[in-house]
Amino acid sequence: MFQYERVFKEVSLGINNLYPPMSKFPPCPKCKCEYTYAMDSLMVCPECFYEWNPDELSEEELAAQIKDVNGNVLQNGDSVVVVKDLPVKGAPKPVKAGTKVKNIRLTDGDHNIACRIDGFGSMGLKSEFVRKA
């Protein structure tokens, strides 16, 4: 619809908020088009004709979530507890099971938790060896 048609409808119907602003809708996840629109409960892209439900998490967002040993989603700043003894290279003793680690930072890579453990210093942990505290 052209801009002047929109203005004409708004004036003739006496409605100021006939159409929501374009910035209200998210861009298309496939082609990044900004001219998406809502159709029932789905969002539609007019350029690539992709339809998606904005309430569902995309596969990329699900894969990017880091989960602990129990399946709980971890976030930056969480506190976790080590579930088994973990040997540390260059240290005479392992990190004991039950050690609480505060204020974790999530990173990319094999060891996806960066943290600081008292008595050991800064190190990386794998999320499969911790549970949310």
What is residue 10's predicted lDDT score, i.e. its pLDDT? 52
- The number of distinct structural domains making up the chain is 2
Q: What predicted TM-score, i.e. pTM, was given to this entire model?
A: 0.57
The pair of three-digit structure tokens given for residue 133, joined into one six-digit string: 């505290």
What is residue 72's predicted lDDT score, i.e. its pLDDT? 92
Domain assignment present for 34: yes
Cα dihedral: 81, 113, 91, 98 (round 10): 0
Q: Which of 65, 83, 61 is nearest to 133 (CA)?
A: 83
Cα separation, 81 vs 119, in Å, equals 16
Domain assignment present for 77: yes
Arithmetic mean of pLDDT over the chain: 83
Domain assignment present for 12: no
The reply to whether 75 and 92 lie within a common domain is: yes
The reply to whether 78 and 116 lie within a common domain is: yes
Cα separation, 41 vs 54, in Å, equals 8
The reply to whether 126 and 75 lie within a common domain is: yes
Domain range for 96 is 65-132
Q: What is the pLDDT of residues 66-94, one digit of tens each?
A: 899 999 999 999 999 999 999 998 889 99
The reply to whether 51 and 73 lie within a common domain is: no
Domain of residue 52, CATH code: 2.20.25.10
CA–CA distance from 48 to each of 23, 53, 57 (Å)?
A: 19, 15, 20
The reply to whether 95 and 113 lie within a common domain is: yes
Q: Indicate if the pLDDT at residue 97 is higher than 90.
A: yes
Among 35, 61, 87, the domain boundary falls at 61
Cα separation, 90 vs 120, in Å, equals 10
What is residue 2's predicted lDDT score, i.e. its pLDDT? 52
